[in-house]
Structure 1
Amino acid sequence: MNAARTQTDRAARRAPRPGAVLAALAAAQFTVMLATSIVNVALPQIRAGAGLSDGGTTWVVNAYGLAFGALLLAGGRVADLFGRRRVLIAGLALFALASLAAGLAASAGVLIAARAVQGLGAAAIAPASLALAMGLFPSGPGRGRALGVWGAVSGAGGAGGVLLGGALTQAWGWPWIFHAVALGSGLVLAGVVALVPGAAGGQQAGRFDLPGTVTVTLALTCLVWGLTTARDTGWADARVLGALGAAAALLAAFAVIERRRPDALVPPRLFTTGRVAAGNLLMALLGSVWIALFFFLPLYQQQVLGSGPLATGAGQLPFAAANMLGASLAPRVLRRIGAPAAVTAALLTEAAGLLWLSRMSADGSYAADVLGPSILVGLGLSVAFVQLTALAVDGVPPQDAGLAGGLVNTTRQVGGAIGLAALTTLAASVTAHAAGHRPALEALTAGYRTAFAVSAAVLAATVVLALLLTRGTGARTATPSTRRASGPATSRLSRLRPDR
């Protein structure tokens, strides 16, 4: 008995610390968010270097977002069924190889295809890493701190992508933005292999819902493709209308299929506990302005203020710092004032920053028009992201943790695609109308101002919804069953078996 106890103690001492495991998982999430925004500043250079047309340049961004958004649900379910650590490792390896291929691409077609494969890898990484993190930290203060880290790296990844993209493009050229992502993904992969054990319950019994997966993936593909294409061709284009109509029909078919499947891709039980539906709806609205922010703000800095790629990227540092600060404070805010008040305050803070941005001018400056509102938006966005992610995974059965992570990432990504398509169309319309009687830069700025003003209005409406949907939700405490299942995080780690 003593020998067995000694062996157990040695195994516990050899087990990685929870903080180190969380760092590896958060690094994987950072990589996904970095790849989402790193190309934005470099698009003019990519267009010239790869010989892309206007439409082809758009698809350097769209190919990644389309594959990522359409396959997230499938990625989350695959992680639940086949092992989260295994799926995370496979996703990181694929992501790294696709990034390397993008940097070495000799033609526009290869570049766009590599970006699509990057999105496929990201669709495996995001839900698997979030599910592993939530398994490591059960409900309570520990999970709140973990989600604070998650929010910090998510916001920092988006802002860091703009900064790194600008620096690398200006120093060594656009291929290096993909080489850097490939190198970073390889390092994260090594960290995950070394530090992350298999999570308890990471591989569940059950069958993969192939009909439901194919149907919803096609539906999301049609939806995201239609929305992104509408930015260039307009909402009345026959292809856009056809894609959106097909998406509606496929989503209706998916609902019918899921009611009849014993192993449904999105089982009804997912919405019977916790606040999953509320969290996902609010996250979709938050995503609709989040992704648009990283699209319009660099454009204003470059096209109106005349900043270069490096200066534009450096201009994101205050936002990133505010985002990390807000995410680190989010658990304390939750404990002090409760979930409804925390979400409301965060959304109002972000809305105030966006409203401030809506007052930008064509002859303005970074200090006067961008710095202050960026800090407000960063603070509000980080706290809102943490609280809404917690809401979307709250009370989810352990066997569905990967799916819940995929679902909340899907709603944010699809919400972002809808918001970006609508806001870019609106901004272009305002700019075109103003171009007839204003100088070019003033007309361009008028479009950006309108996009930020509408974004602030969307968040104001989100506040009202949040107050209704989170009524009665406070800082949750662990249920007796959760307390019995949890225990110290280090003990949990020492009991976990490798998930090959």
Structure 2
Amino acid sequence: MNLHRTQSGRLPPAPRPAAALTVLAAAQFTVMLATSIVNVALPQIRAGVGLSDGGTTWVVNAYGLAFGALLLAGGRAADLLGRRRVLIAGLVLFAAASMAAGLAAAPNALIAARVVQGLGAAAIAPAALALAMDLYPPGPGRGRVLGVWGAVSGAGGAGGVLLGGGLTQAWGWPWIFHSVALGAVLVLAAVAALVPRTVSRAAGRFDLLGTATVTLALTCLVWGLTTARGAGWTDGRVLGALGAAATLLAAFAVIELRRPNALIPPRLFTTGRVTAGNLLMALLGSVWIALFFFLPLYQQQVLGSSPLATGAGQLPLAAANMLGSTLAPRISRRAGATATVTAALLTEAAGLLWLSRISADGSYLADVLGPSVLVGLGLGIAFVQLTALAVDGLPPQDAGLAGGLVNTTRQVGGAIGLAALATLAGSVTARSSTHEPHLAALTAGYRAAFTVSAAVLAATALLAVLLIRCTSPRTATATATGTALAPAPAPAQPS
């Protein structure tokens, strides 16, 4: 396809932008699917591969950590090497690693495959988002793109639980990985056929030192938090890992300030509300992934649901999430971005607080269904609004990096949140098991995790009010996405 630049330097719209957007959204859906599809099957994976308690958590964390730690590198690579090219390479790597995970017969092999799977996802997500934003000119179309992105991201998380449950029950846990591999291959073929080639690339060189430093720092951080669950917070390995993470993150900050081609250039934070958006997204992510970890465990281990029934139980949450993502632009038009973000976070917090009342002799209808709908609605609306906030005011040449940054903050926040909440839940369960039955002790741990998650989101809602009101007004990208980011709750454009 022969494409020419417009006077603004951007590529003209694709001949079939709706078809291309569908394919790119499918790529994002596949990435999010791989985050949650293992959750329902964790007991079967643990028995089949011989995982320890810590190793079971790493089946989730290995993917999330590699994904989050390398998303910045993936976004920068997409800007420098070409977004379509990086997307295709990421899909190939993702599919191969998914197949390897399904064939793994030992813990180390499975966790290594999940790391490589996360590496592929780190190339896919920012490239796909940047390509999707390029499909539509500034205006309401950009807001619809973000709405679609929010819907498929939430649907991928909940849909992964459903698909994981069905496949595990029907054919066994390896098929959760084989199915993801097949999906990635189908998306790859569709990308090659329907997503137009791009010719614009950013100038500069890749920051290898910065990438290596931040990746190692995040690895030490999450490893320390995960190890603390079994070894305790005063264990020398835990303290050493957390100290190394702090040192490496400080070194990364110094490196980035001095390098002309920094992985996270300072210019990223000089326009719009990038810092506020990414900080709030990290806090949202800290409870997002943990929710899809603890809720299926409660349904299976306490309520006794089958993997398929557990997955089906996530459908109301997924439907509510998609509804929230669709309604976010309309709500923002009427209430303003500040009120919309705050209300969405508080709605999700209310749902999690409701979940904190689960009991060992409860039921799905009484303990899970209602709060799942509240959580899904709040999550969908908050995701769309915070994504728009995180790309506010950035120039087009940084689109891939911006997509990588907002995905990084969500995934790293999720990995850290899961490690911390799993440690908390495990500690509460261990204390409760001395005087309560096993199922009651498990439930006590899950209740503690949901309670802290609700508190985190309530604090995030308060922080959102302060940050959005105190940062500069919206700039070009906010207008381009059609999202009103002005401090006052005045009528706004669709997000």
How high is the TM-score relative to the length of structure 1? 0.90
Query: 1:13 offset after TM fit, Å?
Result: 12
Distance verdict in 2 for CA 1:36–1:481, change over 3 Å: closer
Which of 249, 265, 290 lines up with 2:247 in the alignment? Answer: 249
8 Å Cα contact 2:356/2:451 also seen in 1? yes
Deviations 1:446-484 (A, max 9, x none): 22112111111111111111001111789968589969x
Query: 1:433 offset after TM fit, Å?
Result: 2.2
What does residue 227 of structure 1 align with?
Answer: 225
1:35 lines up with 2:20 in the alignment: no
- Tell me which amino acid in the other structure corresponds to 1:271: F
Uncovered stretches (5+) of structure 2, i.e. residues with no partner = 1-10, 482-495
What does residue 367 of structure 2 align with?
Answer: 369
- Tell me which amino acid in the other structure corresponds to 1:173: G
What does residue 469 of structure 1 align with?
Answer: 467
Distance 1:131 1:342 in 2: 25
- Tell me which amino acid in the other structure corresponds to 1:213: T
8 Å Cα contact 1:140/1:478 also seen in 2? no
Deviations 1:104-133 (A, max 9, x none): 223333222211110110111111111112
What does residue 101 of structure 2 align with?
Answer: 102
Distance 1:378 1:57 in 2: 26
Deviations 1:216-269 (A, max 9, x none): 122122222222332333322222211111111111111111111111111111
Deviations 1:156-191 (A, max 9, x none): 101111110110010001111111001000011111
Instruction: Quote the RMSD (CA, aligned, Å).
Output: 2.3
8 Å Cα contact 2:344/2:379 also seen in 1? yes
User: Equivalences for 1:401-416 in 2 at 5 Å?
Assistant: 401-416=399-414
Distance verdict in 2 for CA 1:340–1:199, change over 3 Å: farther
Which of 296, 309, 317 lines up with 1:311 in the alignment? Answer: 309
Query: 1:138 offset after TM fit, Å?
Result: 4.5
1:286 lines up with 2:289 in the alignment: no
Deviations 1:375-410 (A, max 9, x none): 000000000001001100111121211111111111
How high is the TM-score relative to the length of structure 2? 0.91
Deviations 1:52-72 (A, max 9, x none): 333433332232122112211
Distance verdict in 2 for CA 1:480–1:257, change over 3 Å: closer
8 Å Cα contact 1:26/1:153 also seen in 2? yes
Secondary structure of the 1:471 match is helix
1:393 lines up with 2:410 in the alignment: no
Distance verdict in 2 for CA 1:351–1:14, change over 3 Å: closer
What does residue 486 of structure 1 align with?
Answer: none
8 Å Cα contact 1:340/1:474 also seen in 2? no
8 Å Cα contact 2:139/2:479 also seen in 1? no
Query: 1:356 offset after TM fit, Å?
Result: 0.8
Distance 2:372 2:449 in 1: 15
User: Equivalences for 1:51-450 in 2 at 5 Å?
Assistant: 51-199=50-198, 201=200, 203-450=201-448
8 Å Cα contact 2:226/2:420 also seen in 1? no
- Tell me which amino acid in the other structure corresponds to 2:469: R
Query: 1:371 offset after TM fit, Å?
Result: 0.2
Distance 1:377 1:13 in 2: 39
- Tell me which amino acid in the other structure corresponds to 1:143: R
Distance 2:198 2:329 in 1: 24
Query: 1:50 offset after TM fit, Å?
Result: 2.2
8 Å Cα contact 2:13/2:136 also seen in 1? no
8 Å Cα contact 2:65/2:412 also seen in 1? no
8 Å Cα contact 1:354/1:456 also seen in 2? yes
Distance 1:325 1:205 in 2: 40
Deviations 1:302-359 (A, max 9, x none): 1111111111111000000101111111111112211101101101110111111111
Distance verdict in 2 for CA 1:256–1:360, change over 3 Å: same
Query: 1:16 offset after TM fit, Å?
Result: 3.7
Uncovered stretches (5+) of structure 1, i.e. residues with no partner = 1-11, 484-500
Query: 1:144 offset after TM fit, Å?
Result: 1.2
What does residue 19 of structure 1 align with?
Answer: 18
Query: 1:432 offset after TM fit, Å?
Result: 2.2
Secondary structure of the 1:470 match is helix
